[in-house]
């Protein structure tokens, strides 16, 4: 058995003070506590990131007395999406938006 030549360590950045994100291996300015790329903070804690939530997205309509929005909630089921929406927007009336998704399944 031969040990391959160990690779040179990555050079430390010498420009602006940065910290290296353990989540996505990018350098983040010290002024930012949380990595803007993946949402992992300086201590390596993984905060919730909607973009990487693997659950399917359920469109919901959120209605207040004088305003309404349509947003999407990731959840395992439409029922859970509705519950999550109610928790997200207390006091609002939330309803699932019926959508006909005509996408071909591609095994994603």
Kindly list the residues in this chain that would bind Zn ion in the complex (CB under 5 A).
Answer: 21, 23-24, 35, 37-38, 40
Shortest spacing between CB 52 and Zn ion, in angstroms: 11
Nearer to Zn ion by Cβ, of 19 and 89: the residue is 19
Number of Cβ within a 10 Å radius of residue 27: 15
CA distance to 12, 53, 61, 62, 72, per residue, from 56 (Å): 40, 8, 16, 19, 10
Shortest spacing between CB 10 and Zn ion, in angstroms: 16
Nearer to Zn ion by Cβ, of 20 and 86: the residue is 20
């Amino acid at each position: 058995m031969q040990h391959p030549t160990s690779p040179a360590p990555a050079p430390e950045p010498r420009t602006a003070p940065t910290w290296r994100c353990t989540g996505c291996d990018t350098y983040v300015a010290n002024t930012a506590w949380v990595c803007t790329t993946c949402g992992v903070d300086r201590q390596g804690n993984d905060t919730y990131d909607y973009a990487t939530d693997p659950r399917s997205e359920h469109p919901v309509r959120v209605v207040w007395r004088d305003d309404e929005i349509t947003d999407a909630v990731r959840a395992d089921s439409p029922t859970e999406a509705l519950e999550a929406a109610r928790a997200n927007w207390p006091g609002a009336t939330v309803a699932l938006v019926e959508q006909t998704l005509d996408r071909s399944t591609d095994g994603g």
